[in-house]
Amino acid sequence: MAGPIIRNYKSGSIVYFEKDKAEDIYVLQKGRVILTFTSVNGNELKEDVRLGEFFGVKSALGRYPREETAQILGDASLLVFKVPEFEKFVSNKTHLIIKMLKVFSSQLRQVHRQLREILGQGEAKNPAFELMNVAEVFYKNGNYDHAAYAFQQYMKHYPDGNYAGRAKELYDSASRNAPYPINIPPLTYQGDAGSKASKLQDMLRTPAEAPKETSTANIDPNSIEGQFQKGLTLFKANQLDQAETILKPLCDREDTTTQDEEVAVEKSLFHIGLILYKKNKFDACFGSFSNYVKKYPKGSMLKEAIYHLALASEALNEKDKAKALFNKVTLLPPADDSMTSTAKTKLKALST
């Protein structure tokens, strides 16, 4: 192993761009480096690297693309490590590892605080509510495995909690990779009879079986999956025009080579229907969901697609068509989910 090297840069040089492949870890020895990155709320932020400080660590160790652009201001010198060299360098330097953990911990707290602000949430409530909240955020962002795991933990530790019924319903739905139900009321804080601190402590002491890893950190942002995730994020943020611009071209992609890519194409078509429904473009919405049903007669979101066909028909005042479609929803499994219950209520109302 050759060891770290010194690189000298001229003013204005770019050390790396955001989304570049991450291979090296840097230490600023002389000069000035500015990191430019986008925060979770979409704002561009800049951060100075201090002399002697590492940067580019997380992406290099995690083997995922750079999250920021690093630019030189004034001539500068950097000490450059390859990952194995860095791992060897810090292996016996406990103080350095602790320092990095503190920095990463602080960054995670900032991201957590910003996410709560974006989600319109205030200070943290009791553990039971926060567990449900985390589960539902996972679910709304399409992270079904993590959502199902969190709902399962709620049912395990708070079987008599105020949200037990809601957790069961959403667990059933998330386990089927079904989209978050649009007809379920928003989660509101109610306190929880089972929210004793000791239960949370028990959870923390009990080694949990990790859910299947579905991180999107290593997905190429320009790939079919990467584009779908970007479109889905915009959809969840209610940025419908931007989401439609990204998802619509994916619906016609025929160059998929993996099952994950095929699923991304299928879900793109489904979400285009949801976008059109949210924009009250019911004719176009009906056409999009009809296309989904025709293209994916055994699709994972078939029931939800037919349910939205019924809603669109109802909005277009086509009662007979809506009744037939709501009836179809009641015949599709599972028979005890909230969508079936709502379809039965709609069917009854349309028949009077």
Q: What is the pTM of this model?
A: 0.44
Q: What percent of the chain has pLDDT over 70?
A: 84
Question: At which residue do the structure tokens 């099952």 appear?
Answer: 259
Q: Please state the separation of Cα 9 from the chain's center in Å.
A: 37
Q: Where are the beta strands (DSSP E) in the chain?
A: 5-9, 14-16, 24-38, 44-49, 54-55, 68-82
Contact between 9 and 78 under an 8 Å Cβ cutoff? The reply is yes
Tens digits of pLDDT across the chain (352 residues): 567 899 999 988 999 998 898 889 999 989 999 999 877 666 778 888 888 888 898 888 888 889 899 999 888 999 999 988 888 888 777 777 777 777 777 677 666 666 666 655 655 567 788 888 888 988 888 888 888 998 998 998 888 888 999 999 999 999 888 888 888 888 887 754 444 444 444 544 444 444 444 445 556 777 888 888 888 877 877 788 888 999 999 998 877 777 778 888 888 999 999 999 989 999 999 999 988 888 888 787 888 889 899 999 999 989 898 989 988 888 887 777 778 888 888 888 888 7
